[in-house]
Structures are given as structure tokens and as C-alpha cells.
Structure 1
Amino acid sequence: MIVFVGMLPVMMMLFAFAMHLAQQMLAHARLLEAAEVASLAVAAQHEATQSQSEQLAQQVVDFYIKDNVGALTVTVGQDACTYASGCMQDAGELAPSMQTDVQVHSRYDSWLSFDAIGIKEQFELKGGSLSKRYLPKPVDVYLIVDFSYSMSWAWTDGQTKYAIVKDTLSRVVDQLKLYNKYNQEKSRIALIGFNRFSVRKVGGTRTLYNMDIYDNINETVAHMFEDKPAASNYYQSYSYYYPKNFHDIPLTEDYDHFLAELDTMTANARNAGTYSWQGMLRAAVVSDEATNLNPDQVFIVLSDGHDNTKTYNGVKTNRYLKMLVGAGLCQQLFDNMRGKTGRHGEAISVKAGVIGVDFLLDKESNGFYDCVGERNIYHASQGPDVYKYILQMLNEETGRLE
């Protein structure tokens, strides 16, 4: 009994210390949770100011912590890790990122106070959390667009398919401008049109080019990276049967020029069919000639119908693209790009997809299934789907938090 009475003060001090430690641990865990949620919330914002970020972090922390004394002190710091700063190279990162650091400082009333063992009436806690949001990498986008007559047909809300595609490409340019905010190098965009021919501007005049001049598919693929001569004057002079209502826009970071050129194009030529291999063969030349490559190379095909038939070895076929793909057209196109290096010596990533504009591609006959894979085939049943799917292809890593 005497021993118990002698130990009682010690036991009381241990009890008080344990209670205080438990309170601190619970409060600190809550504080760290609040800081982590606030950090993720701030990191996920789109183009917020420093004041807006601080206000959001304060609101989140105030929601989580209710038992503090006085005002909570919340600070927000953000730091970009980009190519320009050298941070990506030093850290071995593959994409630029924005790091968000939220620090919280809070004061509490102690459940128990015991000056003899240093437990004061109040105590302070500090803690924080660091979140990282991956930002867009600079990208080179090759838009391979169908200019067949059916693209002029009415679609969503009475707008033509081409009008919707044209508006969508303008929105894609806005997205690329956003990418440029985080990168020293600019994202670039190219347009490669196709119908019966490929069309380029030569000396300010639209000129027809046939990218498929060989009689053998293996020879066509073997020479796919070589440019072809202009089509003969016979084809150049018959614009009714061989229309020139569009032209290629080479890879550029001059978005105003891109949009101005796009504004001169139409898709209302009655005798324009769908010959998607013209676009893919032209894309091989354009991409191979590109220099100062960005780390992401993205090929996006926009088409609204089946390919026209082609006579090959005396037989009409609607599987000509599929035959070219089987001979290595897409494999060589994409492998050729992967074999190059970016402007900073980094590895090249290649993505490719096909968007059926109000058109469901046939898996059996359409060569794009073998070209880009089924998971990269999209069916835009409504106009807004076109932009949604393009953005999905461009933003595969963008906005990822950790």
C-alpha cells in the first residue's frame, strides 16, 4: 500500500503525459490529413492565382480542423519542374510537373496541463504535404483529315461534319497554347488532308500529289518515306473530278497561320472520295522530314466513311488500306518515329488513334484496326465527341496527381 501511494504521483504524471501525447498524435494526424487534401485540391486547380490557391487551401483546412484555438495559419508554395529549368533532366522526370507544398500551423488547448512535466495549457503543431501534378509535355500533332464530299453533310444541330471538325481543331489549338505555358518548346500542329489525292500549296497554288504511284503494295511501303512527284497536268486541270479544296499545313507552332489556312478549306467537292492511304502515306513523309521533334508524336485520323474501292491486280477491293497495313505501313511509320530522338535527346513516344466522325469503322475490312489497335478506335456519335476523343489522346498523362 505504501509503495502504491508512493508511486501514485508518478503514475499521475505518466497518465497526464500519455493523455497529452495521445491528444497531440490525434491532432497531428488530423492536421496532416487536412494538409494532404488541401495540397491535392490546390494541385488539381486549373490556372488559379496564388490568392485563389491560398483561399482554397484555407477552406479545406478549416473544414478538417475544428478544435484549434485561434486562426489556422496556412501557406501554399508551388514550384514548376520543367525542361527550361533543367529540373526534369536532373530529376530524371519524363514530363514537366507542378509541385504544391501546403504547410499548416495550428494551436490547441491541452486536455490536461501539468507544468511539472512540461505540459502547458496550450501547444502548437506544424505539418505539411507535398503533391505533384504532371503537366503536358510539348507535343507534335499530325491531324490526318478526310475531305470527302460526305464531310459536308449535316450532322449535330444542323452543322456539317466538316464545320464541327474545323471548330474542333480551333479548340485543339487553344489546348496547345495551354501546353506552351509550361514548356520552353512549343507544341506544333500539322494538317494532312486526303480525298482522291493529297494536296499541297506550291508557289501559292494548290497542287495534286498521288502518294500511291506503285503497282505493288510492298513497293509502296518500301518507298513510303520518299516524296512523290506532282500528279500529271491531266489531273491538275480537271478540278471538278479531282478537286483541290484543301491543302496540307506543315508542322507549325504559328497557330494563327494554321487557323487562317484552315479557314480557306472546304469539304464540298462532289467527286471527292475517301482514300485514307493517301493521308497515311503523306503522313509518313511529313513526319520523317520533321526536325527538332517534341517528345510526344501524336497521329490522329478523322474520317467519316469507308474507303472507296481500288483496283489492285485487276480486282476491285475495299481493303486496300488493310493490305498496306499488313505490308508494314503503320508499323514502319511509327517505328521510324520511335527510332528518332527529341530535341533534348529524349526518347520519342508515339500515339495514334482514329476517330470515326458519325461513322462506325468495320473491324473486318477497315485497315485502321490493324494500324492503331482496337482500343485507339473511337466512334464520335455526336459533334462534341470529336473534341473529347482528341483531348483524351493528347492528355493521357496530363493532370495525373501523386
Structure 2
Amino acid sequence: MKRSMRKQSGHAAMLFAIIIPALFGIFMLGSDGARALQTKARLEEAAEAAVLAVSAKDEEDHQLAKDYINHYLYDVDAITSIEVKKLSCDELPDCVAGTEEGEARYFEYQVAGRTSHRSWFPGNEVIAGFGDEFGVTGSSKARRYQSQPVDITFIVDFSGSMNDKWSGGKKKKIEDLKDIIDDVTTELGIYNDLYPEHPHRVAMTGFNRRTMNLGDNDKLLIRDQRITKLDTDDDSWDKDDIFYPQETINNQFVVKGRAKRIPNEDDLAVFKDLYFTTNLNSFMNQVRSFKASGGTASLQGIIRAGQIVQQLAKNPKQLIIILSDGEDFNHYSGQTEKLVNLGMCSNIRNLVNGGPMTVDGMGTSTGMKTPDGEQMSARMAVIGFDYELNANVGLRNCVGKDNVYKAENKDDILNQILSLITEEVGHLAN
């Protein structure tokens, strides 16, 4: 019996020696496996945080997503791939189907990444392991819906160049622009039908070298928003008139009377101020009748828009969108830039948001409030099409370079406007 036990003892020792590698391999697989699962969970968390940040910024910002992944994962050997997408409703079958059933439109943002990590226990020919490295993937989606009701003020270029065709469409620019505004109001109408108690509203002011709106006799009245003194020579050009920049700013929110001078061809244009309304069909019927002619002076539309917002704003969010196809005409370019430097655009934002004003006698604004006492917020943006954005320095400085967008085609313009209207921060999507 003792001899038998000694033989069994030897067998047990041999068996133990044989299974040690297997046990160690199980330990290593368990350790690296648990680490891989934890790393994947962390990558998913990073993707969720990144996609919310991307949706708030409203850009396909790969570097921002990469920064989030590096922050969440402390032992990354390499980020082997990263993908950031912004998809419009038209690119999402679920969204298209939803809008047909009366649901709100949304934009979807996607962040997906893959990272590689060095294994703690790579294994060898005898012991199983993960190899020298292992990879994990993670992804997340967020959606931005239209949320708070918005007052949208379009500042539209009705200069003669808008009658030209452009590379982004088959029609004249002015006709494509009308189609785009029609599409925007259609989307707003869907939202308003869902939330009739808090509807979006739209307004418009147009410009060439002047602005127009109805006078007391319901006839179009051409107005100059600048403070000027006519040159003594009746045949002189607009550029020879004396321009008073600071006095123009001091009277920025004063509704002007009839213009002293109407430049050549400006009077051939037909457009007028359209005040905030929820009657979107009537709004579009009037826009369809407008005609473009004359030169370009964006300062005119910006000043007039500020007056409309000051007098008629009601919703919590004020969005002012400048739509133009080119640089201001001749001397107006320098005048716009000068007025921006004196506070023309910051005065409009600060009037609504609260802040210092450069208008004589207005001091510091405490901000504008809705009828319910809610603080309003204002944002200004420029959407330029068919020209280099840097060509109009005044407009760029007016809204800030991060709020200037170049559109290559009609869809670009439409999606950018709708993106500006949607809520500031997205929600994670399943």
C-alpha cells in the first residue's frame, strides 16, 4: 500500500506540473479579459461624452472626440480609428418617416472609435494569452431636436447680384433663397403644429443699399439707416455724402424716415419688412413676390433687424440670420466694418442678452425678457453662398468667425439654418 501511495504521489506531482500553465493561462485570460471589458465600457462612456460635446458644438470635430477618449482611457497605446458624423434628417430614414407622421425633425451626431492596448499577459506558445495587444471599440449617438420656441429674424440680401445664377443651384440665387426659406418655414410649421402653445415665429428685413417697409399710407417707404449729410452737389454719388458713424450708432434703434437719397436701381427692388408671425403661409406668399435690384449694404439690414427685435421680440431665443451672396458695395464695405467696430452688432446681442451698449444714453442693458419673465438669449450668424466668406470683413467681425458659414448648395444653407434653430445640446439616442 505504501508503494502504491508513493506511485500516486508521483502521478499527482506530474499532473500538477502539467496543469500549472493551463491555470496560469486562465488567470491571464481572466485578468486581460476583465481589463478589456472595463476598457470597452470606458470607451463607450468617452463616446457618449464626446458625442454630446460634438452636438453642442455642432461640428464634426474629430480632435474634440479624440481629446475625450484620451481623457477617459488612461492606458491607450493608440487610437487606431475615430469617426465623427453629423447627419441631417434627410439622411436618416427614421427621421424622414417620423416627419411624415408629424414628428419633430432632428439632427443626429455619431462618434465611433477604436483603441489598441498592450496586454498585461500576452502569453506564449505554452501559455494562452491575448497576444501583445488587444483592441476595443465604442460608439454613441446623440440627437438635437427643436426645443424652445425661437424668434427668427432673416436679414436678406436683395441686391441685384441675387438675380444671377450660381454654382450651387440651377435657378437664380434669389429664387433658390426663397425655396430655402419656404423649406425652413415648412419645418417650423411641423413644430408649431406639435407645440401650438409655444410656436416659432419668423420675421424678415431685406436690404440693398437701403431698407424698405410700409409707410403710413401703406406704400413702400425707402429708408436709410445711416446718419449722413448730403453733398452739396445734387449730381454727386452716395459715396460723396458725409457719413457720421458714431451718430449712426447713437440712433441705431431709432426707426428712420424717408431716405434723403435713393441710389440708382435701388428703387427697382421690391421687398419690405415682415414682422414676427406664426402665419407662415402668408409670410411665404409675400416673400415670393419680392424682387432684387441695386447695390449691397449689409449694415442697413443689420440696423433695421435690431429695431425689429427690440420692439417685437417675444420668444426666449432670438436668432438673427444674415443671408448674403457677396461683399458690400464699394464704400459701404468700409462703413459696415467701421460700425461693427463701434458696436453695431454687439449692441443688438447685448440688448437681448444683457451687457454694455455703445449707444449714447443706453448704458448697460439688463437684457430682454419674455412676457412670462424668462431671460432671452440672442445669437447672430452669417450664411454666405457663392462667395469667399473672408471677403466681407464687416459681416465676419459682426457675428464672429465661429458663426460664419459658407454654403456650397441649397441643402447646405437649409441644413445650417435648421441646425441653428435646434436646441443647443443634444440627447443621447438609442
Q: TM-score range by the shorter chain?
A: 0.5 to 0.7
Task: Name 1:143's counterpart in structure 2.
Answer: 154
Gaps of 5+ in 2: 1-92, 105-141, 229-242, 354-366
Question: What's the C-alpha RMSD, in Å, of the aligned pairs?
Answer: 2.7
Please give the secondary structure, in 1, of the residue aligned with 2:428: coil
Please give the secondary structure, in 1, of the residue aligned with 2:203: strand
Task: Name 2:394's counterpart in structure 1.
Answer: 367
The structure 2 residue matched to 1:182, chosen from 157, 173, 195, is 195
How many angstroms does 1:179 deviate by? 2.4
Gaps of 5+ in 1: 1-43, 53-79, 81-130, 311-316
Using structure 1 for the length normalisation, give the TM-score: 0.61
The structure 2 residue matched to 1:282, chosen from 295, 301, 304, is 304
Change (3 A) 1:133 1:257: closer
1:289-300 aligned within 5 A: 289-291=311-313, 293-300=314-321
Change (3 A) 1:45 1:136: farther
How many angstroms does 1:140 deviate by? 0.2
Please give the secondary structure, in 2, of the residue aligned with 1:242: helix
Contact map agreement 1:138 1:179 (CA 8 A) in 2: no
| Aligned-partner Cα distance in 2 for 1:216–1:371 | 19
Task: Name 2:213's counterpart in structure 1.
Answer: 200
Contact map agreement 1:359 1:380 (CA 8 A) in 2: no
- Post-superposition Cα deviations, 1:346-376, rounded to whole Å, max 9, x if no partner, equal 121211110112112226x611222111111
Task: Name 1:217's counterpart in structure 2.
Answer: 245
- Post-superposition Cα deviations, 1:95-116, rounded to whole Å, max 9, x if no partner, equal xxxxxxxxxxxxxxxxxxxxxx
Task: Name 2:43's counterpart in structure 1.
Answer: none
How many angstroms does 1:133 deviate by? 7.8
Please give the secondary structure, in 1, of the residue aligned with 2:340: helix
- Post-superposition Cα deviations, 1:245-287, rounded to whole Å, max 9, x if no partner, equal 21111111111210111111122x3xx1110000011111111
Change (3 A) 1:135 1:264: closer
The structure 2 residue matched to 1:164, chosen from 165, 176, 184, is 176
Change (3 A) 1:398 1:167: farther
- Post-superposition Cα deviations, 1:128-158, rounded to whole Å, max 9, x if no partner, equal xxx9986521110000000111111112342
| Aligned-partner Cα distance in 2 for 1:157–1:251 | 29
Please give the secondary structure, in 1, of the residue aligned with 2:226: coil
Contact map agreement 1:186 1:253 (CA 8 A) in 2: yes
| Aligned-partner Cα distance in 1 for 2:272–2:144 | 39
Please give the secondary structure, in 2, of the residue aligned with 1:251: strand
1:101-120 aligned within 5 A: none
Change (3 A) 1:208 1:397: same
Task: Name 1:253's counterpart in structure 2.
Answer: 278
Query: Percent identity between the aligned chains?
Result: 31
Please give the secondary structure, in 2, of the residue aligned with 1:362: helix
How many angstroms does 1:242 deviate by? 3.0
Contact map agreement 2:143 2:426 (CA 8 A) in 1: no
**Count of matched residue pairs:** 266
Kindly provide the amino acid, as one letter, of the partner of residue 174 in structure 2. Y
| Aligned-partner Cα distance in 1 for 2:225–2:305 | 10
Task: Name 2:413's counterpart in structure 1.
Answer: 386
Contact map agreement 1:207 1:244 (CA 8 A) in 2: no
